[in-house]
A and B are shown apart, each in its own frame.
Chain A
Amino acid sequence: MAQTNLSQVLDRIRADIDNCYFTVCFEMESGLPLGMSTLEFRDEAENIGAAFGQILDIITRGQRHGRNKHIREELHTFREIILETSESTFVILVPELGEQMAVGIGMPKEVKLGYARVAINKHRQALVESIRAIG
């Protein structure tokens, strides 16, 4: 049931972003996907989760081993990372601090970043609740 809710929220986010490639929820430690909404990238869910999981790992390592204590403390409040490439924009966000789950969204670079953030924020609360429901 909880997983169904999560999938529905991921579907809604994807539907709100024009031509969104995928929305995926994954466990931060392992990078394994817990739910995904996509039309064309289902076979690549594990790769996408692993890539995002590894990118987040850079942040969590900085939280533990960063040399500057101010930056180290700041990294504990990590919320979101956005990667802009020549083809696409990828957003990885932690909907709620302390939760070990993160959400990744891939979209064409033509999608305006501000618009995508509005779409994500619109569903942020539902996302938090569905992640909490997983336990």
Chain B
Amino acid sequence: MVEGMRLGELLRAASLSGASVAYTVSGPGVRGRVALRTGKVVEANATIEGSPALNGRPALDALLARSAELTVEPAPVRTSRPPAKPPKTVPPPPPPPTSAASSAPAKKEPPSVSTNANPFQEISEQMRSSAPGSVAAGIFSIEDGLMLGVHSSVPDTNVDAMSGSHVRIVDQIMKFAELLPERIRGKLHSVVLELEETSFFMTMDDDHRVAIMLAGDHVKGNLGYIRLVAKRQVKKTIAVLDGI
């Protein structure tokens, strides 16, 4: 069992370090498996009591939403993709490991959680501290919806659910924006959501598949400042991503 770490935290760490790992999870009425290859989620499935089996993104979302109740165990990494169709012939055994260190059995590969501070966490904290009136700041991957760094003063924040819903908003806005006339549509690069007391500013870099979110209070902060701080942090985030 992986002590003291939730599924979301383990996946974030693996995603950041580009690790190839797999985990099986279990909890009350829930069982599932998530696998990453070089830091990207390549497999997710979940069986929840009373519901049909889930695969892919819905499975990942369902598991992350329940991460507080789940027990996580490291699992062997499959060396080949799971067969999409029933194999026509007897499946070949996994290739025997050679003596080269690079082809050591995947099971030996640890989740490689870096002991260094998470640079995205540092950027998130910096964003929050430099934007007066900000209540939450986060950096997340548009690719898989995992939060890379977050700093929030909103109580009861489920970080994984938060990044998942932000990605969903971005995805859907991109999809619906396609209905707009092509000659004025352009490529989405930021979204501002104004609520009665709070503004959310999200800016994204589509090439790096990463987005930054900064939320601030209307009274204590101002949208222009929030926008400026978030946009500046995009460059810093990309520099960190390029360096990984």
B47: Cβ under 8 A from any A Cβ: no
Q: Return chain B residues, CB-CB under 8 Å to A106.
A: 180, 184
Could you tell me how many residues of chain A have their Cβ less than 8 Å away from some Cβ of chain B?
A: 38
Q: Return chain A residues, CB-CB under 8 Å to B197.
A: 74, 77
Q: Return chain A residues, CB-CB under 8 Å to B178.
A: 51
Could you tell me if A81 and B198 are in contact, using CB atoms closer than 8 angstroms? no
Task: Classify chain B: how many residues form its interface, as a range.
Answer: 35 or more
Chain A binding site: helix, strand, loop or mixed by DSSP? mixed
- CB-nearest residue of chain A to B194: A80
Could you tell me if A51 and B158 are in contact, using CB atoms closer than 8 angstroms? no
> Could you give 17 example pairs across A and B, Cβ below 8 Å?
A21-B184, A44-B181, A48-B179, A51-B178, A54-B179, A58-B172, A70-B156, A78-B193, A79-B194, A79-B195, A81-B191, A81-B193, A83-B188, A83-B191, A87-B183, A97-B196, A108-B184
B186: Cβ under 8 A from any A Cβ: yes
Identify which of B165, B176, B177 contacts A67 (C-beta below 8 A): B165
Q: How far is the CA of A70 from the CA of B152 in the complex (A)?
A: 13
Identify which of B188, B190, B196 contacts A79 (C-beta below 8 A): B196
Could you tell me if B179 and A51 are in contact, using CB atoms closer than 8 angstroms? yes
A4: Cβ under 8 A from any B Cβ: no
B98: Cβ under 8 A from any A Cβ: no
Q: Return chain A residues, CB-CB under 8 Å to B94.
A: none
**Residues of A in contact with B (beta carbons under 8 Å apart):** 21, 41, 44, 47-48, 50-51, 54-55, 58-59, 62, 66-71, 74-75, 77-88, 90, 97, 106, 108-109, 114
- CB-nearest residue of chain B to A75: B195
Q: Return chain B residues, CB-CB under 8 Å to A80.
A: 192-194
- CB-nearest residue of chain A to B169: A58
Could you tell me if A85 and B177 are in contact, using CB atoms closer than 8 angstroms? yes
Residue in B161, B168, B169, B186 with the greatest tally of chain A CB atoms within 10 Å: B186
Q: How far is the CA of A84 from the CA of B156 in the complex (A)?
A: 30
Could you tell me if A86 and B192 are in contact, using CB atoms closer than 8 angstroms? no
Could you tell me if A51 and B177 are in contact, using CB atoms closer than 8 angstroms? yes
Query: How far apart are A47's CB and chain B's nearest CB, in angstroms?
Result: 5
Q: Return chain B residues, CB-CB under 8 Å to A70.
A: 154-156
Q: Return chain B residues, CB-CB under 8 Å to A55.
A: 172-173, 176-177
Q: Sort A-B residue pairs by CB-CB distance and give the 8 closest, nearest first.
A: A87-B186, A77-B196, A85-B186, A51-B179, A80-B194, A82-B192, A86-B186, A54-B176
- CB-nearest residue of chain B to A56: B176
Q: Return chain A residues, CB-CB under 8 Å to B81.
A: none
- CB-nearest residue of chain B to A49: B179
Could you tell me if A90 and B180 are in contact, using CB atoms closer than 8 angstroms? yes
